[in-house]
Structure 1
């Protein structure tokens, strides 16, 4: 990837569409755009609470008419694709190709550009989406994110109930603070097109962590001795299904835990885009400790 400098800010008159605006990352992106005085339109499955300068559109990314309406007057789109299948995205991409906004797509660091097929369904759909956007001539800015620190929120109930966090083990990754990913996304959403490297940017945290490492750092933030206990894939599957998670999602998560290779890659791309180094998971745990109490 070519070297890049921090992009030049665009005029504050830009209008930006944020998909997935109710999720852990989408909320952070909306907050930052609003704080910078940009006009923001959110597309999410449910209506958001009213906020100054933020317009909310409730609906589904697979509805072409809704997408067409949501894209009216939009200069840039922050795109999070929520499904485990890229086929329903063809209509969305067609609408994007007609209106031709700048597209910033949230992808995955686990993509192997040399592989004919990716390691698991979650990574495969990201690779397919990147290809769809490029094939449509949209020249998306691709942000390939590592595991988000906010995924640890899924352990909150177990942490409140005891000192052991159980789940399927996964390969170690350079866990990245979602606030850093949001800052990077806002930088490229505001950047002048002519000054922008389209990436892909590989957004990681500063250290490679196992799940046991993450649980240990969370315990330190809570001043408790927490430990992680890996469970077999079959048991993890049955527990997730019992919790009411969709079967297709459960199978994708199990495949990711079993098949995804370990990555020791740590990059400086967060710093390139934001002007500061990526934060640690330990810092994230301290900042969010109250959510686990």
Structure 2
């Protein structure tokens, strides 16, 4: 059986769908199992219970365990889990001790390696396309997207591409002991993202550039952890005016990565709701 943590999250949900479609037994963890809304045949359990009986492989996301992953990983080792596929971060390659995203994910990878289980560490680069959902309420209300550093360029990754690489790591032996690093297929500024959402939605979306301090306050109010806020601001500042390096997902999926326009189309209801 494959255990998927964070099963109702951006990556977890499409991953559960892929594993279920492949005919595998899946136990999906959710903070609220009654509202999970996952495919028929998927066993749903509470994250707080972390039931590991019969589990041979785990997809692990840190966001599922706000108190840290040390204890869950120790329980996986004790239960004899044979394979752990973790959603890590390309920030592990940044040795700046102020980059707490990198520090925390290096610690995650180290703990998993020490279990002796087979491992794969997914290291998406270029940012998650899904961060644009932070704009959804404002775009629905008044057609405005707000962010600092309008010309900071990233290569946003569609969560379905991350889920597809995770599925390959769980269903085959192809990526055991590997740390796939991959980005989205195009280098885009934050202003580009807003424009593309407007084009797909069929309504103008105006980009409004925030000062770093304004962004800091907005993200903190939205519940983004302080260490993540500061890491994002430093990263955005470094990316201004520089094309983001593209790390193709093709070697892992045998196809190009999904575009940001495709992501926007897949999530268009989030941006159109108020106009319907």
Q: TM-score range by the shorter chain?
A: 0.7 to 0.9
> Are 1:77 and 1:104, in contact at CA under 8 Å, matched by a contact in 2?
yes
Aligned counterparts of 2:104 and 2:212: Cα–Cα separation in 1? 22
Runs of 4+ in 1 over 4 A off after TM superposition: none
Q: How does 1:274-293 map to 2 (within 5 A)?
A: 274-293=253-272
Query: 2:83 corresponds to which residue?
Result: 102
> Are 1:216 and 1:227, in contact at CA under 8 Å, matched by a contact in 2?
yes
**Residue deviations 1:19-70 (CA, integer Å, cap 9, x gap):** 001111111111111111111101121113474221111133xxxxx33xx2
Query: 1:264 corresponds to which residue?
Result: 244
Aligned counterparts of 1:83 and 1:256: Cα–Cα separation in 2? 20
**Residue deviations 1:81-107 (CA, integer Å, cap 9, x gap):** 11797x732222212222132111001
Query: 1:151 corresponds to which residue?
Result: 131
Say whether 1:131 aligns with 2:106. no
Match of 1:54 among 42, 62, 76: 42
TM-score (norm 1): 0.81
Q: RMSD of aligned C-alpha atoms?
A: 2.3
Query: 2:73 corresponds to which residue?
Result: 93
Query: 1:45 corresponds to which residue?
Result: 31
Aligned counterparts of 1:89 and 1:242: Cα–Cα separation in 2? 25
**Residue deviations 1:133-171 (CA, integer Å, cap 9, x gap):** 123323420111131212212211111112321133484
**Residue deviations 1:177-205 (CA, integer Å, cap 9, x gap):** 111111111111100x3x44422101211
Aligned counterparts of 1:196 and 1:112: Cα–Cα separation in 2? 19
Query: 2:4 corresponds to which residue?
Result: 18
**Secondary structure of 2:146's match?**
strand
Q: How many residues align?
A: 262
Query: 1:5 corresponds to which residue?
Result: none
TM-score (norm 2): 0.86
Q: How does 1:161-180 map to 2 (within 5 A)?
A: 161-169=141-149, 171-180=152-161
Aligned counterparts of 2:178 and 2:21: Cα–Cα separation in 1? 26
Query: 1:198 corresponds to which residue?
Result: 177
Give 5+ residue unaligned stretches, structure 1. Answer: 1-14, 61-65
Cα deviation for residue 242 of structure 1 reads 4.2
Aligned counterparts of 1:267 and 1:18: Cα–Cα separation in 2? 26
> Are 1:111 and 1:118, in contact at CA under 8 Å, matched by a contact in 2?
no
**Secondary structure of 1:200's match?**
coil
> Are 2:11 and 2:163, in contact at CA under 8 Å, matched by a contact in 1?
yes
Give 5+ residue unaligned stretches, structure 2. Answer: none
